[in-house]
Amino acid sequence: MAVEVKKSQESPTRTALIYAGLAIVIGSVIGLLITEINNPFFILLAAGGLIVVVATVVSVEFGLLLFIFITYTRFSDIAIDFYGAPSVAKFFVGLLILAILIRWALMGERPAGWQLPVLVLGLYGLIGFLSLVYARNSASVVYTLSNYVKDALITLVVVVLLKRAPIFRHVIWTLLAIGIFLGTLSVYKQITGTFTNDYGGFSRAEVAGISSGTSGYRLTGPIGDPNFYAQIMVVLIPIAIERMLHERKLLLRLLAGLAGVLCTLTILFTYSRGGFVAMLVVLATFFIVYPPRPLQLAVIIGLGIGIFSLAPANYLDRVLTLKDLLPNQSGGIDIRSDNSIQGRASQTLTAWIMFKESPLVGVGLSNFAELYPQYSKEVGLAPSASTKSLHNLYLEVATETGLLGFSVFMSMIWLAFQSILSARRKFSEAGQPDYAHLVTGLAIGFIGYLTAAIFIHAAFPRYFYLLLGIIFALPAIAKQVQEDILSQGFGLKLQ
């Protein structure tokens, strides 16, 4: 007895013709735009856009991978800031949504898995929207809300499109490819000393304080800030190590190792203390989950010595300033020994004052900086009375959205780890340990991101919502793998 498989009623020829027609229409529009544009960069961008449009319409999974690359490298922002180009990200999100609707209409591929993310993201957005009523600076609220809608849309698009296990593997390797791309530029820039060369906007640097009385170049990558650059690179380190340990092909293992080394060196070259702490956390977590064997431990120690031998001469001075956060002989903490530490202490204490005044709903989205000069006077530690962002994501959320917003925000993180645990268990039960390892590497990378967020605010939240989208998609992928294996086994039994 054979298992009957229901075939799609849609004619493949008709579907191909519709796709071709769409490609022709979109391509014609781009072609007409090219005739009106004199800038060679825009012409090249439009021609590349035509290829991307056709490829995305044919394979929406390809579009997803390219979208992840564009988002993680900030390709669209760089094109806007450095070349005056229109927003590539907005166009691409629209294209992916169009592809989702086309698949729904033509192939019956109904979007799934978006309901719970919509609920939690919508609730958080609603709390932020309500702050328009009481926030001192409503313009900041509106600006932040508009960006939040775009970020939440990224999460939902990724959840809807990331449905198959092989694509999840490709997503992981896309992230590692980004690590190799950005890391290579960063390491080359540091070694050659070409700090004034922005390398197309993807590898920037700034002169900033290193330790007391010294300053130097700190790499800022495509973001333009060393601490945020370190945060997104630390995510990739455990992913790279996991693939180096579990990939079957030697070439892929070597590429994963290269990604890990480049990302680690990049973090060192940012001089980010928060990035350094986050890196230690992910490495400790990784080796607790995957205790190394003696030979592996020897290789790891050798790599660590080699990597840190390439660290700048004054890097240790920068890291050792963290000791100022430890109690001294009198049991106190000398927060005035470092301007950065003093400023963050002032921000933390000021946030506590604001929170006590409005614990339920907060002071309003993006209003901490607006109120900081006024409230910091009560603390008396601020090196300056200028507006300052709160360098702690969790305190920022609690201060600006109160207990209501903080509870919803933390529920996002809780749901993310529930998704990770569920997917890891389902992959293991389905006899797919390699996918379970992929999930584990991503989970530890996410822990690294959240650890670094203790030291910085939500200036670039798009990375957080991109990672959320990937993670929220995992349980459905694992469930589909289970169902596929069960159906294959059932079919064999019936034949």
pLDDT digits (tens, 9 = 90+) for 407-456: 999 999 999 999 999 999 999 999 999 999 999 999 999 999 999 999 98
**pLDDT the model gives residue 26:** 58
Task: Identify whether residues 83 and 147 lie together within a single domain.
Answer: no
pLDDT-based confidence at 10, cuts 50/70/90?
Answer: very low
342 within domain boundaries: no
Task: Identify whether residues 314 and 405 lie together within a single domain.
Answer: yes
Does residue 173 have a pLDDT over 70? yes
Does residue 336 have a pLDDT over 80? no
| Percentage of the chain exceeding pLDDT 70 | 80
Q: DSSP secondary-structure letter at 109?
A: -
359 within domain boundaries: no
**pLDDT the model gives residue 35:** 58
Task: Identify whether residues 40 and 143 lie together within a single domain.
Answer: no
Does residue 470 have a pLDDT over 70? yes
Does residue 4 have a pLDDT over 50? no
pLDDT (mean) for 29-46: 58
Arithmetic mean of pLDDT over the chain: 84
Does residue 47 have a pLDDT over 70? no
Residue type, 231: Q
The 10 Å CB-count burial string (b at 16+, else e) for 371-406 is bbeebbeebebbeeeeebebbbbbbbbbbbbbebbb
7 within domain boundaries: no
Half-sphere CA count of 448, side-chain side, radius 13 A: 34
**pLDDT the model gives residue 6:** 40
pLDDT-based confidence at 380, cuts 50/70/90?
Answer: low
Which element (helix H / strand E) includes 206?
A: strand 204-211
pLDDT (mean) for 238-247: 95
**pLDDT the model gives residue 99:** 78
Cβ contact 104:93 at 8 Å: no
Phi, psi of 208 (to 5 degrees): -150, 170
**pLDDT the model gives residue 49:** 65
More confidently predicted of 4 and 318: 318
**pLDDT the model gives residue 261:** 94
Residue in the structure block whose two tokens are 């991307």: 52
Task: Select from 47, 77, 110 the last residue of a domain.
Answer: 110
Task: Identify whether residues 69 and 152 lie together within a single domain.
Answer: no
pLDDT (mean) for 319-334: 60
282 within domain boundaries: yes
Query: DSSP strand E in 21-132: where?
Result: none
Residue type, 398: A
Q: Which of 156-160, 216-220, 291-295, 313-317 has the lowest mean pLDDT?
A: 313-317
pLDDT (mean) for 274-301: 91
Task: Identify whether residues 195 and 269 lie together within a single domain.
Answer: yes
pLDDT-based confidence at 337, cuts 50/70/90?
Answer: low
pLDDT (mean) for 205-209: 89
DSSP-assigned beta bridge partners for residue 219 = 205
Measured in residues, the chain has a length of 495
Q: Which of 251-255, 334-338, 485-489 has the lowest mean pLDDT?
A: 334-338
Task: Select from 76, 110, 144 the last residue of a domain.
Answer: 110
**pLDDT the model gives residue 221:** 96
Task: Identify whether residues 173 and 55 lie together within a single domain.
Answer: no
Q: Based on the structure, what is the number of domains in the chain?
A: 2
pLDDT-based confidence at 102, cuts 50/70/90?
Answer: confident
* Residue 93 CB coordination number (10 Å): 19
pLDDT (mean) for 272-295: 93
248 within domain boundaries: yes
Task: Identify whether residues 403 and 447 lie together within a single domain.
Answer: yes
Task: Identify whether residues 261 and 312 lie together within a single domain.
Answer: yes
pLDDT (mean) for 282-293: 93
From the list 230, 226, 206, 219, the residue with the least C-alpha distance to 452 is 230
Does residue 303 have a pLDDT over 50? yes
pLDDT-based confidence at 245, cuts 50/70/90?
Answer: very high
Q: 58 is written with which tokens?
A: 């044919």
pLDDT (mean) for 202-211: 88
**Structural domain containing residue 51:** 12-110
Residue type, 339: N
Cβ contact 379:343 at 8 Å: no
**pLDDT the model gives residue 31:** 60
Task: Identify whether residues 310 and 231 lie together within a single domain.
Answer: yes
Q: 454 is written with which tokens?
A: 């203790």
Q: Which residues contact 362 (CB under 8 A, 6 or more apart)?
A: 131, 354, 355, 398, 399, 400, 401, 402, 404, 405
pLDDT (mean) for 134-158: 93
Distance of alpha carbon 494 from alpha carbon 212, whole angstroms: 74
Does residue 306 have a pLDDT over 50? yes
**pLDDT the model gives residue 383:** 55
Task: Identify whether residues 175 and 58 lie together within a single domain.
Answer: no
Cα first-last separation, the chain: 5
Does residue 44 have a pLDDT over 70? no
380 within domain boundaries: no
From the list 239, 247, 315, the residue with the least C-alpha distance to 283 is 239
81 within domain boundaries: yes
**Three-state SS for 209?**
strand
Task: Identify whether residues 146 and 216 lie together within a single domain.
Answer: yes
Does residue 58 have a pLDDT over 90? no
More confidently predicted of 403 and 294: 403
